[in-house]
A and B are shown apart, each in its own frame.
Chain A
């Protein structure tokens, strides 16, 4: 537990070793990376064990701070902040990262960038673990950006593909826009409160009236929230996440489902003391979350590519987590974060296995009956599907129920309705995908085969977790609720109607998907339905044209104003500068003719000038006349 600082250090070490020493040898590189990751996992598990067996931790985190640098009014520490939340997170991240790395040895086999891929994965794990364990906002921000960099590198891993390069840039730039706001928020906190230390801030913030106004606090909270909006793919900055599927599938599983994208949720959870002080900011978080959840779920219904469906599902689930934070339930949010990491990593890795078998044919409509040829992948995927749909006793049910309950108890009935609709949609789109891809008639042109053990092994482990991870937070066994909370632990009484509603909605979603996509052999009803709502279908299929809107904004507004200022620069600014030059040059060109080099001309000019001045003075000013004329009257 006191060696928690080693957890992020080991993957960082493996990154350096691979880059500088073992890069020419792919097998060894992978071995180094996996060994370090497993070591890190063991340490994280020990740390988590230490935390969850010591009741002291329920109230007081373990903090190590080392002074890094400082000047007047600014003191920056680096340190480790270990509490039940971060212990849970490092356990989850190291576990998923280890499984993904093992999976990658099969998935990435034969790729020329094999060792580089593992070095990036290691760097990513180091950055993410560093972010989780940060004891102050600045340190967190550094790792936050490092995580963004790894995301960029891994999305653009297939750099020979233009679409991958574009997606990498899009992800990086979108996140940068959001990070700028986060940075501004942090600066405001440093200026107003004089510290970025999370522990100190949590002491100070409840008495913020001594420092600043409520309006300023709201502004800070909104600015800080924009960072997570970008990182966790909330509307309207969600656009990068589906495109990030250009990266290799293990990356999608690790970064864009299980770990990096939840960094935003984690940051909001960590700075909860800031948000709970200002009611409007909480509402903003809740509404953004609920809207994103619903919005992304509707898009996911119409998508055809297996990874895109999962990507929008991720956006939607992240929306759930934000919603839970917005209604003040850190417990529910982090619980969903925990379960989602397992079942979503499972589904992504399953999708990777399918793509591996079908040679990267991604359209679910071209799949079918895969479960016969790929039983392990298929059945683990079904487990993931049950978990995300929220069928008891799978993990997703308990966490989703917790969120719905928290929303309902806080009295946000509209958001509760929206979240319930999303639960129905989630079950529907996931099972649409499962029925289309894994059940039904086999397609003769496909020749699927089960993936090697290095890939199915992690799937099985994750399937177990997706089943069991929720059992630590059931109403009968509220371990989770006792440990991870903000303020005081609260056990919502088990609300049977809400449980029934959410289960019924999930079952209805699955049932509808079954009727439309499995029972109906030629999918005529589904097509008819899509045809009936043609404009709506088209709108949703094109993701509500958000990308197009941004493109239009960039092309017309940003580029247009850029062109206008360019013209202003060319004609007005350059005109003035060049004009001054041209006038000077012309004057010189003409005036030099006056200088003949002939002394007598100069002398004549002197003489005439003296004459003119004398005469002028003599006729204009009587007092100076006397001077010139030497006193003669």
Chain B
């Protein structure tokens, strides 16, 4: 199975994916894009968890269990976040994050 593929590859993949997600989350101005990028970061973590489960403690399912939890939480989070974004959009007619600064002081 998966000959020549080691833990390092998985870690690199997840790090790249996390970096792309982080970059997008910090840079993108569209709230929906930021949400997508956050999903990317969560999934990068999921890859990490599953990969380490396979290489460090094979035969158990702790990593997979955590991944499923994260997917569930992410789904809930997306639901709430989209609802907030829609509510703000109705109010402000904008999804640009730069406009969302009225919670300061």
Contacts and interface: CB of A to CB of B under 8 A. Distances in A.
A599 B84 CA distance: 14
Q: How big is chain B's contact interface, by range?
A: 10 to 19
A595 B102 CA distance: 11
B105 A607 contact: no
Contacts of A599: 97, 100
Interface string A476-498: 00000000000000000000000
Contacts of B22: 607
Contacts of A600: 25-27, 34, 97
Contact of A596 (B25, B34, B101): B101
A375 to B, nearest CB: 96
B4 to A, nearest CB: 20
A597 B103 contact: yes
Contacts of B27: 600
B80 to A, nearest CB: 15
**Chain A interface SS verdict (over half):** helix
Interface residues on A, range: 10 to 19
A594 to B, nearest CB: 10
Contacts of B102: 597
B91 interface: no
B90 interface: no
Contacts of A603: 25-26
B47 to A, nearest CB: 15
A508 to B, nearest CB: 96
A598 B26 contact: no
Interface string A570-605: 000000000000000000000010011111100110
Interface in B86-105: 97-98, 100-105
A595 B25 contact: no
A597 B101 contact: yes
B26 A607 contact: yes
Contacts of B103: 597
Interface in A118-142: none
Interface in A199-218: none
Contact of A597 (B25, B26, B34, B104): B104
Interface string A386-413: 0000000000000000000000000000
A603 B97 CA distance: 13
Contacts of B101: 596-598
B100 to A, nearest CB: 7
A596 B104 contact: yes
Interface in B1-60: 22, 25-27, 34
Nearest to A598: B101
A605 B98 CA distance: 17
A71 to B, nearest CB: 58
A600 B25 CA distance: 7
A604 B103 CA distance: 18
Nearest to B22: A607
Given A595-B105, A597-B100, 18 more contacts: A592-B105, A595-B104, A596-B104, A597-B101, A597-B102, A597-B104, A598-B97, A598-B100, A599-B97, A599-B100, A600-B25, A600-B26, A600-B27, A600-B34, A603-B26, A604-B26, A607-B22, A607-B26
Interface of A: 592, 595-600, 603-604, 607
Interface of B: 22, 25-27, 34, 97-98, 100-105
The 6 closest A-B pairs by CB, nearest first: A597-B104, A597-B101, A592-B105, A595-B104, A604-B26, A598-B101
